[in-house]
Amino acid sequence: MDTNAAFISEAITAAGAQVVWRTTVGDNVDLIVEAIARAMQRSELVIATGGLGPTNDDLTKKAICKYFKRQLVFHDDVLKKIEERFKARGVSMPAINQNQALLPQGAEFIENEIGSAVGIALAEDGSLFVALPGIPDEMRLMVSGWVAEQIRRRAGNFAIIHRRIKTTGIFESALYEKIADLVENRGGYQDGDKISVAFLPSWRGVEIRLTIASEDPSEGRRQLAELEARIAERIGDYIFGYDEETLPGTVGRLLKEKGATLAVAESCTGGLVGKLLTDTPGSSEYFVGGIIAYSNELKVGLLNVPEALLQKHGAVSEQCAIAMAEGARAKMGTTLAISVTGIAGPDGGTPDKPVGLVFIGLAAPGKSKVMEHKLGGGRERNRERSATLALDMVRRHLQGIE
């Protein structure tokens, strides 16, 4: 699972580079050398990640030495820094980490502020090769710092500008139809100064990504803003945010604006809605907590759902969703409370109540609402989509959208 490549693409595009190719190869020196050779022919900048660790299966340094025809040289100053890092954590350095002070001759090194593998940079025929550690936090600091600085220095005014419009609650094709005339012939890759438009669906919604490559960034931004405004006019109700904004973050911002607080009552999502809300730093300003009532006993005991209600309608019902939300709001003393109860699967479905049936309840001052959804996917998808629908129900309520 390559989470690094996604980060690097975003970060270096923001700095002014255009990503054209990405390759993954097995742990084999000859394959790595071949991948480096092809990439160095193709691009001015080549970034490799991973394989700088101390163990035997870390082969990137060997491949670098083979491709660039260098020797590994021992660097005493690098070893000292690695030893100090272990010391600061109160552990003695395993002997094997000495390997990480063996580095290709004549390379430039990129300091690692939080780990033991330094980055390695080598230039050849006008192209720059950079090898970074595979551990995400360490790689990210180097990309955002040293690598981005190299790109900005070369890119000058030229910039690739993105605007991401984030929607949820609507199919990709239905969304497309609403704005087809605005985005026609804008498919595909950057084409001169024209804005390109991509639709990126996921379980959490559809992202519309507008991109323009421009020597005049402020003019590029103006064009993006113009198209964005026309799109928002058509589909505004489905938009929960832009660029780095997240749905839980938007819910948090709206709650803060209204001085409101929120609690959760979760059954099938098992804590996921609370987890998503607390992904955002500072969420304690509006999120007080919640009750994970996975068993019926806890729905009764902690959320005051009447036993008779459970017997008559079952735990997966409109009535139970409302009782859970109202119980959570009363128990935790918040402005709003949201509840989720459903059948996540793969088991537990019946003809009447199939896998994917989910009820989401919202308790607010003076009124409660409930929504029924038929999702019908796998367990993970049903849980992720249920949590997203719950958060979006809070967003719509706070924005006065029906």
Nearer to a copy of itself, 75 or 186 (CB): 186
**Quick check: 194 binds a copy of itself (CB under 8 A)?**
no
Site for a copy of itself in 261-290 (CB under 8 A): 264, 266, 268-275, 277-279, 281-284, 287-290
Residue type, 297: E
The binding track of 368-397 with respect to a copy of itself, each residue x by CB under 8 A or -, is ---------xxxxx-x--------------
Distances (CA, A) of 263 to 21, 271, 332: 45, 12, 7
Please tell me the distance from the alpha carbon of residue 100 to that of residue 314, in angstroms, as a whole number: 60
Distance CA 342, CA 269 (A): 8
**Side chain identity at residue 109, one-letter code:** F
157 makes contact with a copy of itself (CB under 8 A): no
Q: Which of 44, 154, 188, 350 binds a copy of itself (CB under 8 A)?
A: 188
Decide the pairing of beta strands 45-49 and 127-132.
parallel
Give the burial class of 358: count Cβ atoms within 10 A of its Cβ; 0-12 exposed, 13-18 middle, 19 or more buried: buried
Contacts of residue 368, defined as CB under 8 A and 6 or more positions apart, other chains included, come to: 322, 325, 326, 361, 362
Q: Which of residues 91-150 bind a copy of itself (CB under 8 A)?
A: 91, 94-97, 135, 137
Based on the shown chain and the rule CB under 8 A, indicate whether residue 167 belongs to the binding site for a copy of itself. no
> What is the full DSSP assignment across 234-260?
HHGGGEEEETT--HHHHHHHHHHHTT-
Structure tokens at 156: 């000058």
Q: Which of 52, 120, 293, 343 binds a copy of itself (CB under 8 A)?
A: 293
Residue 253: CB minimum distance to a copy of itself, A: 17
- Choose the stretch contacting a copy of itself; rule: CB under 8 A; options: 120-128, 218-226, 238-246, 339-347: 339-347
Name which position in 176, 217, 300, 368 contacts a copy of itself (CB under 8 A).
Answer: 176
Identity of the residue, 74 or 189, whose beta carbon is nearer to a copy of itself in the bound complex: 189
Verify binding: residue 332, a copy of itself, rule CB under 8 A.
yes
Within its chain, how far is the Cα of 251 from the centroid?
Answer: 17
Alpha-carbon gap, residue 125 to 108, rounded angstroms: 16
Minimum distance from residue 286 beta carbon to a copy of itself (Å): 10
Closer CB to a copy of itself, 15 or 121, in the complex: 15
CA–CA dist 118, 80 (Å, integer): 13
Least distance CB 210 / a copy of itself (angstroms): 11
Between residue 204 and residue 263, which ones bind a copy of itself under the rule CB under 8 A? Answer: none
Residues 11-50, one symbol each (x = binds a copy of itself by CB under 8 A, - = not), give --------xxxxxxxxxxx-x-------------------
Count of residues near a copy of itself by CB under 8 A: 93
Q: Which of 264, 276, 371 is nearest to 325 (CA)?
A: 264
Residue 189 interacting with a copy of itself (CB under 8 A):
yes
